[in-house]
């Protein structure tokens, strides 16, 4: 049986994370698995609450808490857990990342494990994500492009039909299928691939880090699969508050620019921004003609242009992809 390490990242949601610990441990029962919970420098008593929960709960697998020491974002926090490794010192064959507000069904993680075991060409495998009420979430995607920026910002039927093959969301697949990238709420990754391409690029604080990682895996010759029968309930945006955004945070603009510039070059990134502005202008014309409610926060396009023009003139961002070097001095 393959060896597995599951990383669960917490930032100021200790009660939710304790629920996720229990669900993950139950789903990992019977597998050669360990669970490492990373507190991403919450500073609110989370670390102590998580340790107390693990020590006071009869979990079916070994589990422990590590402290990141800084809140470097989603990718950096998961990197801490991956590099900390298993407490028994054994190299895992697979690493599973799981959100603190994600609750796998009893067989969900075994199904990811079994799929990777049966398909050595697959680098990453991700679950079917749904709300606690069963509502499916869109988590299977194409890689973003200039044309997808136009389509996504235009939000208009004729444009979407014209650019359907470039639309980023793949809808809701009804069967296991190959995709470009997956949301990281529940994704199992082959350790051989991580050793080849590196871990998450810590230049992304939040958003686009999974996209970047999956693109690097694809360029190394590995595929990414969406596993329809691996079910994980997910609340979504508990730590980030994204559902209640009245404005888009700067780190989203930073991550979007970083992805396009890193993946395709600065000129392509500029063209992608202009494509988004074109699509946004189409949408705003539609709003003007039909009276539809505005969707983007006020001044969004202006902020996007201002941010990306400044980024285009700045020095090229340093690649902060982290090599897979085990770290044993992390506090445990």
Residue 71 within any structural domain of the chain? yes
Taking only the tens of pLDDT, the chain with its 332 residues reads 899 999 999 999 999 999 999 999 999 999 999 999 999 999 999 999 999 999 999 999 999 999 999 999 999 999 999 999 999 999 999 999 999 999 999 999 999 999 999 999 999 999 999 999 999 999 999 999 999 999 999 999 999 999 999 999 999 999 999 999 999 999 999 999 999 999 999 999 999 999 999 999 999 999 999 999 999 999 986 444 454 457 899 999 999 999 999 999 999 999 999 999 999 999 999 999 998 888 899 999 999 999 999 999 997 778 888 887 554 434 44
Of 63, 199, 215, the residue nearest 144 (C-alpha): 215
Show the domain range for 55. Answer: 3-144+168-241
Say whether 232 sits in a helix, a strand or coil.
strand
CATH number at residue 140: 3.90.550.10
Token pair 């505005």 is at which residue? Answer: 294
On whether residue 302 sits in a domain, the answer given is no
pTM of the predicted protein model: 0.94
Collapse the DSSP code of 332 into the 3-class scheme (helix H, G, I; strand E, B; otherwise coil) and give the result: coil
Domain count, the chain: 1
Residue 286 included in any domain: no
Has residue 172 been placed in a domain? yes
Whether 100 is in a domain gets the answer yes
In a domain, 327, yes or no: no
Q: Which residue in 98, 103, 91 sits closest to 26, CA to CA?
A: 103
Residue 139 lies in a domain: yes
227, part of any domain: yes
């Amino acid at each position: 049986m393959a060896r597995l390490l599951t990383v669960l990242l917490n930032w100021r949601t200790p009660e939710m994370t304790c629920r996720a610990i229990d669900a993950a441990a139950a789903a990992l029962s019977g597998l050669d698995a360990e669970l490492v919970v990373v507190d991403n420098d919450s500073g609110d008593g989370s670390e102590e609450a998580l340790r107390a929960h693990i020590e006071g709960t009869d979990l079916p697998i070994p589990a422990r808490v590590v402290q990141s020491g800084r809140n470097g974002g989603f990718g950096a926090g998961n990197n801490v857990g991956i590099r900390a490794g298993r407490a028994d010192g054994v190299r895992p064959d697979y690493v599973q990342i799981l959100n603190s507000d994600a609750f796998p069904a009893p067989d969900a993680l075994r199904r990811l494990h079994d799929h990777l075991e049966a398909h050595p060409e697959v680098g990453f495998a991700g679950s079917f994500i749904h709300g606690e009420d069963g509502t499916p979430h869109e988590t299977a995607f194409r890689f973003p492009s200039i044309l997808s920026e136009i389509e996504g910002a235009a939000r208009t039927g004729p444009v979407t039909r014209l650019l359907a093959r470039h639309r980023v969301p793949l809808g809701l697949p009804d069967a296991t299928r190959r995709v470009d990238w997956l949301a990281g709420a529940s994704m199992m990754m082959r350790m051989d691939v991580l050793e080849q391409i590196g871990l998450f690029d810590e230049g992304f604080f939040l958003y686009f880090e999974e996209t970047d990682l999956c693109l690097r895996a694809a360029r190394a010759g590995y595929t990414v699969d969406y596993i329809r029968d691996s079910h994980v309930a997910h609340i979504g945006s508990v730590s980030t508050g994204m559902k209640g955004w009245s404005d888009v945070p700067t780190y989203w603009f930073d991550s979007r620019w970083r992805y396009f510039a890193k993946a395709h070059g600065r000129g392509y990134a500029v063209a992608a921004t202009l494509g988004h502005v074109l699509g946004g202008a189409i949408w705003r014309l539609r709003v003007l003609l039909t009276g539809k409610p505005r969707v983007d926060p006020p001044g969004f396009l202006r902020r996007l242009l201002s941010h990306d023009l400044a980024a285009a003139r700045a020095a090229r961002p340093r690649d902060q992809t982290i090599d897979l070097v085990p770290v044993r001095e992390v506090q445990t």
